[in-house]
Amino acid sequence: MRIIMLGAPGAGKGTQAKKIAAKYQIPHISTGDIFRANIKNGTELGKKAKTYMDQGLLVPDELTCDLVVDRIQQPDAANGYVLDGFPRTINQAEALQKGLEERGLKLDKVINIDVDKNILVKRLSGRRVCKNCGETYHIDNKPTLKDGVCDKCSGEVIQRADDNEKTVLDRIEVYEKQTFPLIDFYKNLGIVLTVDGTLSIEDVFSQIKESLSKNV
């Protein structure tokens, strides 16, 4: 089961990716994890990526794609994988598709988690995190027992800078410009499943499982 997760920031794609990985016993792969592993292990691709990252530059699409394709050919991904956070642009999608086709590989499903922008803003701008232990909260869905104090460690609970409303709107705008066009790209391949991300976590997962069962 070879899967790509799409969805705006706050749509819940990371949560669903973890559930899919656990259910089907396949790795949940993010580009951040791939970069860190290759740099730590001193691979040739990792060394190349590090030269860009050390300069504060974005790693070129072609190199990122090489790293992703290398990762999904590792033994633990023999039965499939869930790609989370890649591709983000049409260029990356085209490079990934080319890399897969050259190796005789193909994607099974692209899962698009659809959530209205106003709900995304409310979800993200309401998030809070403990500065000390990293425990996450939400002012509506999971408030702290005592305002501004972590239930677990009594540390200070704050709103991260990238969770304020303006930054959230900027992040969603970037997604709409860069990543949203990927839905049409993958629709042309006939592999997109769009699910309603405003449903409960379990209801969203049930829709995903039902669709994936047809691919088995």
What is the distance of C-alpha 99 from the center of its chain? 20
If you average pLDDT over residues 164-169, what whole number do you get?
A: 90
pLDDT one-digit tens code per residue, 73-117: 999 999 999 999 899 899 999 999 998 999 898 999 999 999 999
43: in domain: yes
135: in domain: no
Confidence label for 216 from pLDDT (cuts 50, 70 and 90): low
Active site residues: 13, 88, 127, 160, 171
84: in domain: yes
Phi–psi pair at 6, nearest 5 degrees: -120, 150
Which residues constitute the domain of residue 179? 2-115+166-213
90: in domain: yes
Q: Which residues contact 84 (CB under 8 A, 6 or more apart)?
A: 5, 13, 14, 17, 28, 29, 30
CATH number of the structural domain spanning residue 199:
3.40.50.300
Residue 82 tokens, joined: 């869930």
pLDDT one-digit tens code per residue, 26-73: 999 988 889 889 999 999 999 999 998 888 777 888 899 999 999 999
Cα separation, 120 vs 116, in Å, equals 6
145: in domain: no
Number of domains in the chain: 1
pTM: 0.83
111: in domain: yes
174: in domain: yes
95: in domain: yes
Q: Which residues contact 143 (CB under 8 A, 6 or more apart)?
A: 137
Residue for token pair 């959530």: 115
Q: Contact 156/150 with Cβ under 8 angstroms?
A: yes
CB atoms within 10 A of CB 148: 10
